[in-house]
Amino acid sequence: VNVLPRVVQELIEKLENLPGVGPRTAARLAYYFLRAPENVSTELAKVLIDIKKEIVLCENCFNYSAEKLCPICSNNSRDESILMVVEEPLDIVAFERMGDFQGVYHVLGGVISPINGIGPEEIRVEELLNRIKEKSISEIIIATNPNLEGESTALYIRNEINKVRKEVKITRIARGLPSGADLEYADDLTLQKALEGRGEF
Ligand SMILES: [Zn+2]
Alpha-carbon separation of residue 82 from 104, 105, 119, 131, 173 (angstroms): 6, 8, 26, 12, 13
Which of these, 85, 97, 178, lies nearest to 132 by C-alpha position?
85
Say which residue, 182 or 128, is predicted with more confidence.
Answer: 128
Q: Residue 197: its pLDDT value, please? A: 79
Q: How far away, in angstroms, is 157 Cα from ligand 1 center?
A: 20
Contacts of 171 (CB under 8 A, 6+ apart): 139, 140, 141, 142, 198, 199, 200, 201
How confident is the model over 44-67, as a mean pLDDT?
Answer: 97
Say how many Å lie between the CA of residue 3 and the centre of ligand 1. 49
Reported pTM:
0.83
d(CA 9, ligand 1 centre) in Å: 40
How much distance in Å is there from the Cα of 41 to the middle of ligand 1? 32
Alpha-carbon distance values, 4 to 12, 32, 137, 191 (Å): 10, 14, 58, 46
Residue 110 Cα to ligand 1 midpoint, Å, equals 17
Cα-to-centroid distance, 24 and ligand 1 (Å):
38
On the question of pLDDT at 16 being above 80, the answer is yes
Listed range (34-38, 56-60, 108-112, 130-134) with the worst mean pLDDT: 130-134
Most confident of 53-67, 125-139, 142-156: 53-67
107 CA distance to ligand 1 middle (Å): 9
* Ligand 1 ion local residues (Cβ < 5 A): 58, 60-61, 63, 70, 73
- For residue 141, the cross-strand partners are 84, 171
| pLDDT score of 167 | 84
Cα of 92 from ligand 1 centre, angstroms: 10
At residue 192's C-alpha, the angle toward residues 197 and 196, to 5°, is 25
The residue type found at 51 is I
